[in-house]
Amino acid sequence: MKARIPFLGITVDPWTMQDTVDEIGRRIESGRFTQHVVINVAKLIAMRTDRTLRQAIEACEIINADGMGIVWGARALGLPIPERVAGVDLFLELLGLASSHGYPVYILGAKPGVVELAVSKLQSKYPKLIIAGYHHGYFWDDEPAMVEEIARSGATMLFVAITSPKKEQFISRHRERLGVKFVMGVGGTIDVVAGATKRAPLWMQRAGLEWFYRLLQEPRRMWKRYLVSNTVYAWLLLKERVRQFIPSPHEK
């Protein structure tokens, strides 16, 4: 597998979707624990000021580029990111892997009612999928009990559908006690599976406009996040591009 590459203060695995699925499968078969995370523009910018988020991400065994902004930005700096590995698409690929290999999965997150609906739809889509358990994302009054439940479930794979940075920090705090071989934060994926929210049309995904589609769905909550993160990101890319052409004196 290709080694990680540095990009604006983080490192990213320059893999395709198939590379990622294959490596996760190999790691599970060999018994190696794997924490997976995807990086998008908003998360990259948040890491610069959120130390616990940065530490949680840097501890992950696999870091994929999610979001065309990251892919295009890396390519603009001459870095070989082959494609976007979207979290929701990887989630579905991994459920196929779990179904074919008999890996039990646990799904944690989303609202009560939503997670149940999502599980029902997933079981219809993947009849051989073993659901070791599931729970909504409102468990913070007894976090240790939630961790214990996951460990007792016998799950091989855990998918955590909670917003950032909570999901990364939760996984980081408990990764040694979860009892699973693989864990991945999937954010709003369970809402999409359940039909509670809609994913952007394919043409918008390919055009790098999925963030804009989400902004249209939740303008009050998302406008500031995208305005700030996208502006800072553009500035960081510009500075790095200039640095490539005009290195500072200590780099000469």
Q: Tell me whether residue 251 is in a domain.
A: no
Could you tell me the residue range of the domain that residue 130 belongs to? 5-200+208-245
Q: Tell me whether residue 184 is in a domain.
A: yes
Residue 250: predicted pLDDT? 62
Residue 228: predicted pLDDT? 83
The strand ranges marked E within 81-210 are 105-109, 131-135, 157-161, 182-185
Residue 45: predicted pLDDT? 93
Query: Which residues make beta-bridge pairs with 5?
Result: 12
Q: Tell me whether residue 158 is in a domain.
A: yes
* 252 residues of the chain, pLDDT tens digit each: 789 999 999 999 999 999 999 999 999 999 999 999 999 998 999 999 999 999 999 999 999 999 888 999 999 999 989 999 999 999 999 999 999 999 999 999 999 999 999 999 999 999 999 999 999 999 999 999 999 999 999 999 999 999 888 999 999 999 999 999 999 999 889 999 999 888 878 888 777 777 777 777 777 776 677 778 889 999 999 999 888 888 666 655
Question: Closest Cα to residue 87, out of 177, 188, 178?
Answer: 188
- Please name the residue that has the structure tokens 């179904």: 99
Q: Tell me whether residue 161 is in a domain.
A: yes
Please state the separation of Cα 109 from the chain's center in Å. 14
Q: Tell me whether residue 250 is in a domain.
A: no
Structurally, the chain folds into a number of domains equal to 1
Residue 68: predicted pLDDT? 86
pTM here is 0.89
**Integer angstrom CA distances of residue 127 from 21, 115, 130, 206:** 20, 17, 8, 30
For residue 2, how many other CB atoms are within 10 A of its CB? 11
Residue 251: predicted pLDDT? 59
Check if the beta carbon of residue 156 is closer than 8 Å to that of residue 103: yes
Q: Tell me whether residue 12 is in a domain.
A: yes
Q: Are strands 34-39 and 62-65 parallel, antiparallel or unpaired?
A: parallel
Q: Tell me whether residue 145 is in a domain.
A: yes
Q: Tell me whether residue 252 is in a domain.
A: no
**Integer angstrom CA distances of residue 29 from 172, 186, 215:** 22, 22, 40
